[in-house]
A and B are shown apart, each in its own frame.
Chain A
């Protein structure tokens, strides 16, 4: 593992994913290949020297070289996310360091194991990096994404995920809407609970390795329930995003 240093990235493009979520593509002078699931730290420095720092998961796969996509949700009272959403335009520079973390990562050695991904809201960001990389390397392991969102409008990467599910018979997208479901929706329409998780686990022929990411309370509840349902604790990996909303 290399020593990491702060570097100045240039904002190459900005995409509005949902009303409260933007993806920033950053060109890095010192890009190093990352593992899907890793994050970068981003640091803002005010003129008076005050600094604020946050961690943002990488959405792009390592095959996208020289740059990284960071997908950022606008958090109420979030000093860093508000600045990124309202104060940053293409061409601006941002101070980042990474890639960071070797725990919440999907490694190529796992490509034959069944995979369960569970996301709440913007918790889908590190998981899309895993899915994009999994597609790039042509893995055929049974994979399911259980994705909890408030409404259709707030489902980040929805079009891409639906397309992925159409193209890949081994990948299943399971959405649950916690508020407004689209007209005619016959899928899950509530917060993730024990019944949903039992149902999802039953779709696997053998026990999956799992990654759970999203708001802290969702992550802890899902991890505890999966352990109660018999998944070994060392096959459940978690990353808490704090008070982000679903």
Chain B
């Protein structure tokens, strides 16, 4: 592990808020309040608090607790590929708060 690269990665990371526009356009609803469970550590959390890495060729969302891979999004010129493998369960509260 390179400590300098680690620090840069830490400073560059965003959160679920930053990818909400892409997902809202795709799914037609706001994902930030989605309650999601990490398949790796089984911890529940709100989508907005997932750690987001957006500077690569795709978007990677990781669990803030165990850093396990929760979701990947890759945009191609003609499609969007979403991998939800790391999400054990998700629930949206329709009362909107």
Residues of A near any B CB (own CB < 8 A): 1, 3-5, 39, 41, 55, 97-98, 100-104, 107, 109, 215-217, 237-243
Task: Identify the closest chain B residue to A6 (Cβ).
Answer: B25
Q: A-contacting residues of B (Cβ < 8 Å)?
A: 8, 10-18, 20-22, 24-25, 28-30, 32-33, 46-49, 96-97
Asked whether B24 lies within 8 Å of A240 as measured between CB atoms, the reply is: no
B96 contacts A102, C-beta separation under 8 Å: yes
The B contact surface, by secondary structure, is helix
Given contacts A239-B15, A242-B14, contact A104 B32 (CB under 8 A): yes
| Contact A217 to B11, CB < 8 A, known contacts A101-B30, A102-B33, A103-B33 | yes
A103 touches B28 (CB 8 A): no
Q: With a CB–CB cut-off of 8 A, which chain B residues contact A39?
A: 17, 21
Enumerate chain A residues within 8 angstroms of B49, measured Cβ to Cβ. 238
7 contacts between A and B (CB under 8 A): A1-B30, A41-B21, A102-B32, A103-B48, A240-B14, A240-B15, A243-B12
For the complex, what is the distance from the CA of A5 to the CA of B26, rounded to whole Å? 10
Residues of chain A lying within 8 A (CB to CB) of residue B28: 1, 3
Task: List chain B residues, Cβ under 8 A from A4.
Answer: 21, 24-25
- Per the bound structure, the CA–CA distance linking A104 and B96 in Å amounts to 13
Contact: B12 with A103, CB < 8 Å? no
Partner pick for B32 among A98, A103, A216, A242, CB 8 A cutoff:
A103
